Structures are given as structure tokens and as C-alpha cells.
Amino acid sequence: MKRVLRAAFGLYPRWWWRRYGAELETLVEDSGATWPTVIDLVFGALAVRVRQRRPAEPGAKSEPSLFRNPSALAPALMSFGALTAIAVHTLKSGIAPQADEGTAAHLWQLLMAGQLPFVAWFMVRWLPGGGRRALAVSAIHVVALGAALFPVWWFNW
């Protein structure tokens, strides 16, 4: 059982283990090591890796927001612009299908296609090392893209 406990303890990040490891070992020894305890340790290690961030070193500067990066901000703004083009067109002309694609349709197409290189560059550049921050920005990209696509799908344009 000690090998299994050591393996479960090894799943925790080093920074977390240096701070809380001795307390956790003492707690497990006092309560007794059982299989449910090992399962709790494994899920606890997973939760620490997903939910907690390494504390900043004393005197270290905090990381700037990824939205200051053009490859993060541009796709969201372009999706918002495409959604705005649809809203303006709807307010001016209604939702009836047009016989000919107008300026709004071409603007929407350019904005939607134009953001794809920005999204691809962001994912290549920031996802491998950006962690949860990069995933959050990518989720915003997907939501913004979906918001701009939804009216076109809904009105069958």
C-alpha cells in the first residue's frame, strides 16, 4: 500500500507538495491508508492541477492579460463586427432573404473568414504554454464565432 500511496502523492505538483506534502502525509497516516483514500488522493491531485495556479514568487511581476495580444483580441472584435453587420442589415432591411447578396453579407463573409488566421496563430502560439488562460481566450473565440454564425443559421440566409 505504501507504493500506491507514494504514486498517488507523486501526482501532486511539486510546488504544492513542498507546501502541503508533510501535512497530507501525516493526515493519511493518522486516518489510515485505504483504497478510498487513494482514490481521493488521485482526484485531489487532478483537482489541484486543474484548479490551482502556482503562487507567484515574491517580487515577481504578474502575467499580463492575453487579451492585450492582437491575435487574441482581433478575432473577438471581428466576430462582434460581423454580428453588428447582421444587426444593422436586419434593422434596415428586415429578415427576408435578399435576391442579391449585399454589402452586409460580403462584410460578414470577410470578417468571418479573416479571423481564422488570427485564431490559428493564437492557438499555435499560445495554447501549448498558455495553460488555462489560453484555453479561456480560445473559448471566447469559439463563443464569439458561434454568436456571429447563429443569426445566419437561424434565418436560413
* 71 and 143 part of one domain: yes
Looking at residue 61, its pLDDT comes to 64
Does a structural domain hold residue 113? Answer: yes
Same domain, 90 and 148: yes
Domain span at 123: 66-154
Per-residue confidence (pLDDT) for residue 79, from 0 to 100: 94
Residues 46 and 81 in one domain: no
For residue 22, being part of any structural domain is answered with yes
DSSP for 17-71, written as a single string:
HHHHHHHHHHHHHHH---HHHHHHHHHHHHHHHHH--PPPPTTPPPPPPGGGSHH
pLDDT score for 65: 73
Count the domains in the chain. 2
45 and 6, same domain (yes or no): yes
Mark whether 72 and 39 lie in a shared domain: no
Mean pLDDT for back-to-back runs of 10 residues, the chain (157 residues): 89 91 92 89 88 70 73 92 93 82 90 93 85 88 93 87
